[in-house]
Amino acid sequence: QQQQQQQQQPSDTSGSQQQKTDNTKTNKSTKMNKEEYLEHVARKLSMKAKDAGHSDKLGIAEALVQLGEVLMKEHKFSSSINILGRAETVHKEIIHETILAVASAMKRQGQLHQAKGNHELAKLYLNTAAELKGSPSAANLKKAWEVHTEHKPRRSKDTELKEAVAKVERRLKRASSEAVPLAHTLKLLAKAKRGEIATKSLRRSNYR
């Protein structure tokens, strides 16, 4: 019996060590205040966004904006700025991906024009696609919209070309719609920065 009791002791010790570890983790999370906890969540979301698909990134960006807004309303401007900055980064990645998708669709349309002997249109579309891919900026997206609006065929009987044109338009519209939440995030970020400046100014005047 004594030997059996001795054999049981190590397992009992390991169990108590595991309990201590669990308690330590719980204590750490309990010690976090709301501001620290939301920043912790924001960091995890940012890490998740790196490997996320396009639609998941949209959800992550929206969640980050909501966290930033919560902290801004509570006048935690520094943390709000950090989190909204993370949201801005994810939004820009989203738009970057969509603009590259526009470039791919425009390149395909250019190749179809080339195959049908429309060399001027082919050159225009292929150059626009190359510019978008090289620099997926708002300026180049605007230029792509202008090219599409001015040169898309109105009454084409070519099914393949019609499908290519429709794909370009869908992707252009998606890119434009995804720019809206980015603009909203940038406005919130500017507001949080103004709040931080005002708070610091108030603190300085109180110290005098």
Q: What is the pLDDT along the chain (208 residues), one digit of tens a residue?
A: 555 444 545 444 555 565 555 555 544 555 789 999 999 999 999 999 999 999 999 999 999 999 999 999 999 999 999 999 999 999 999 999 999 999 999 999 999 999 999 999 999 999 999 999 999 988 999 999 999 999 988 777 889 999 999 999 999 999 999 989 999 999 999 999 999 998 888 777 765 5
Query: How many angstroms separate the CA atoms of 45 and 16, rounded?
Result: 33
Residue 109 and residue 125 in contact, taking contact as beta carbons nearer than 8 Å: yes
**Cα angle, residue 39 at apex, residues 36 and 45 outer, rounded to 5°:** 145
Q: Which residues contact 146 (CB under 8 A, 6 or more apart)?
A: none
Tell me, what's the pLDDT at 172?
A: 96
Tell me, what's the pLDDT at 26?
A: 47
What tokens does 74 get?
Answer: 């509570």
Report the predicted TM-score, pTM, of the whole model to 2 decimal places: 0.77
In this structure, which amino acid lies at residue 29? S
Tell me, what's the pLDDT at 113?
A: 94
Tell me, what's the pLDDT at 88?
A: 96
CB-based burial, 135-146: b 16+ in 10 Å, e otherwise: ebeeebbeebbe
Nearest to 168 by CA among 108, 90, 93: 108
Query: How many angstroms separate the CA atoms of 87 and 50, rounded?
Result: 12
